[in-house]
A and B are shown apart, each in its own frame.
Chain A
Amino acid sequence: MNYSKCRVCGERAIIDLPRHNANFCGEHLLQLCRRQVEKAIHDHDMLSKDDKILVAVSGGKDSLAVWDILLELGYRADGLYIGLGIGEYSDVSGDYTREFAEERGLTLTTIDLRDEYDYDVPTAAKVTKRVPCSACGLSKRHLFDKAALDGGYDVVVTGHNLDDEAAVLFGNALRWDVEYLARQYPVLPARDGFPKKVKPLMRLTEREMAAWCIVRGIDYQVEECPMALGNKHLAYKDALNSIERESPGSKSAFYLEFVDKMSPILAEHRRTTGRELVACTSCGAPTTEPDSGDAPVCAFCRLHDRVSGVEAVPVEMVLNKKARKAYLAAQAAGE
């Protein structure tokens, strides 16, 4: 019987990667992924073997995969999971994360927003009338930064992959948002009270990361967050995947060439436009000084002040009509 063969060893392939114009068996897919992570770490001076690393884990494929790969490569890495209170989605994500850590005897810290800060993401979205992803991102960034500094970690690792970065780049380029384009880089150095943050999966696609987890036997949250359904980020990913299908390699060229060729040009902008930071008078985290002359309070503390103690709002209450219909259908189907 004819079957496609691994480019490296000639054994039966399990995956085709058109951007590499090649098929790979499980073992050599893993080798490819490890090498791409090593290259990203090396080229951008992301990590050293002496670093104490904190991985931001969500229970999704990317964060579990990057934790797995770093451990395989000999790095010291602990995990931090934040329970966001997004109904069953958060419950399942937390279960996958704990299971991963327990099976491997890893150190995992868990923060539950509702238990420790008396709010959750759906409630924050409802009260602030902003998209849920905004309250979610703000909460996660603040708590990961705080945990890293409190725990004496040298660096925070996130599981952002090539598709994530290409989609963000696409959105920023559609608006020629120079501020955001200047800041889009796979390494954010430590500064002014913020820990160093790095994205070792920058050279690997979403499809490759899902395949990593399947080959490695890692169970992960396969469903997309119900609160993200219909957002622009997912639409940009779909658009880029349509281009990728017609022209394999376009996605990686778009993002990686940006990092190589455009980021150095934008570096000067990065250096000259950063605003001076001061300590939040509530929690001490770095924040910008308000133009009004009021005492500086960081965005997290402002959010917390508004939403803390408000009775929990169910997920479906903060979805648009289309997303709510999909969410309720999924619930009815027993997901």
Chain B
Amino acid sequence: MIVKLRQPKREVTVDGNRTVNQLLDELDMNRESFLVIRNGTLVPGDGRLDDDDTIEIRPVISGG
């Protein structure tokens, strides 16, 4: 799956299905500091992500 990240803005490709929490753990990202969005819709921590999904991992610490 393609995973879009910010700060800095970049994309990484991750192979294989996994849950949101597994993905965040693999990328060493704290679940409290991010939201995961699949095709414009939020996905909870135990939500499954498929190989052909495009995922955005959005930091929640932002904005003046």
Do they bind each other? yes
A3 touches B32 (CB 8 A): no
- Interface residue from A15, A23, A234 paired with B61 (Cβ < 8 Å): A234
| Residues on the A chain within 8 Å of B41, using CB | 14
Tally chain A residues at the interface, Cβ within 8 Å.
49
| Smallest CB separation, B21 vs chain A (Å) | 9
Q: Indicate with 1 or 0, residue by residue over A122-146, a CB within 8 angstroms of chain B CB atoms.
A: 0000000000000010000000000
| Smallest CB separation, A273 vs chain B (Å) | 30
| Residues on the A chain within 8 Å of B33, using CB | 207, 238, 241
User: Is B46 part of the binding interface, using a Cβ–Cβ cutoff of 8 Å?
Assistant: yes
A245 touches B32 (CB 8 A): yes
- Interface residue from A3, A60, A245 paired with B63 (Cβ < 8 Å): A60
Given contacts A3-B47, A58-B63, contact A222 B8 (CB under 8 A): no
| Smallest CB separation, A150 vs chain B (Å) | 22
| Residues on the A chain within 8 Å of B61, using CB | 163, 206, 224, 234, 237
| Residues on the A chain within 8 Å of B60, using CB | 61, 205-207, 209-210
A61 touches B62 (CB 8 A): yes
Q: Indicate with 1 or 0, residue by residue over A53-91, a CB within 8 angstroms of chain B CB atoms.
A: 000001111110000000000000000000010000000
Q: Within residues 42 to 64 of chain B, which ones have a CB less than 8 A from any CB in chain A?
A: 42-48, 58-64
Q: Within residues 5 to 51 of chain B, which ones have a CB less than 8 A from any CB in chain A?
A: 6-10, 30-35, 37, 41-48
| Smallest CB separation, A168 vs chain B (Å) | 14
Q: How far is the CA of A60 from the CA of B60 in the complex (A)?
A: 10
- Residue ID in chain A nearest B37 by CB atoms: A214
| Residues on the A chain within 8 Å of B30, using CB | 238, 241-242, 245
Question: Chain B interface (Cβ within 8 Å of chain A)?
Answer: 6-10, 30-35, 37, 41-48, 58-64
Question: Chain A interface (Cβ within 8 Å of chain B)?
Answer: 1, 3-4, 13-16, 18, 23, 26, 58-63, 84, 93, 136, 159, 163, 205-207, 209-211, 214-215, 220-225, 228, 234, 237-238, 241-242, 244-245, 326, 329-330, 333-335
